[in-house]
Amino acid sequence: MALLFTGCTLPTFGGYKGSTSQGRTEFHLWQGFFITGIVVGGLVFLLIVWTVFRYRKSSDAIPVQSQYHTLTEIIYTAVPIVIVLVLFVFTVLAENNVDAVATNPATEIHVYAFQWGWEFKYPGGVKIIGQTTQAPTVVIPANETVRIDLKSLDVLHGFYVPAFNFSRYASPDYYTTFDLNALHTGTYRGQCTQLCGLYHSLMFFNVKAVTPAQYDQWLHAQQALVRSQPGSVPKLPSGVNSSAPAISTNSHSGGDPSSD
């Protein structure tokens, strides 16, 4: 009854399955750790129960004392070391997969965090900006590699998308670069995870994954709007100093959509 009342879901064990390939890797690692914990905890519990009943007090006589038991000492020393080493190896493999960056990503987006909002910068001068009560939506192609260059324009912020099982610091001193590969289309909630000031709790954003064709169509339309109406490009709030360079990287599909 206690296990049922905890509401632990199987086989996710309360975690997100991960809506990106990187997040799915972390989810599988989480499953492995949780199952390992269940096995080890169950074994320890059975040994305790067995000891309680097998060696319960039956008389006032003092049992025979044994100072050493070499085989037992080797087992309870070696087995935990082996378990930790195995978990360590799987952790390193998962981290390498999550932190790996592709040579030729399908598209590249610069993300800038500031008090208290987000700026998403695409090739061709396209910008999406939202602050405080606004929750800007960054559009990405699903099933393709998206390169994110993350930086803060003031204090330390956190880029976190729960459904992606992914979080990274946005530092004011340098770019943090990583790849995301959304497995399917959909809209996912994101938020800042570092206490960054008065309106930290309102610093939300959304990630909208669409098909590659829809992404191309949307980006080309936005770039055409920038060329025809430069004044329509949103600007950062007054008081926010932008040190963001222009993006010269070619966008989705390896071509320059501004030439279309």
Query: In the structure, what pLDDT confidence band is assigned to residue 15 with cuts at 50, 70 and 90?
Result: confident
> Quick one: average pLDDT of 102-107?
88
d(CA 4, CA 14): 13
Domains present along the chain, CATH in parentheses: 2-54+68-99 (no CATH), 107-233 (2.60.40.420)
Q: Which two tokens stand for residue 250?
A: 């070619």
Q: What is the pLDDT of residue 5?
A: 65
70-99 and 21-54 are packed helices; what angle lies between their axes, rounded to 10 degrees?
Answer: 170
238 and 152 in contact (C-beta within 8 Å)?
no
Residue 58 pLDDT > 90: no
pLDDT reported for residue 179: 92
* pLDDT band per the 50, 70, 90 thresholds, residue 4: low
pTM listed for this prediction: 0.76
- pLDDT for 246 beyond 60: no
**pLDDT for res 149:** 93
Instruction: Give tens-digit pLDDT for 126-136.
Output: 999 988 888 99
Going by pLDDT thresholds of 50, 70 and 90, the confidence category of residue 3 is: low
Residue type at 82 in one-letter notation:
V
Alpha carbons 208 and 139: distance in angstroms, whole number: 5
* Distance of alpha carbon 39 from alpha carbon 42, whole angstroms: 5
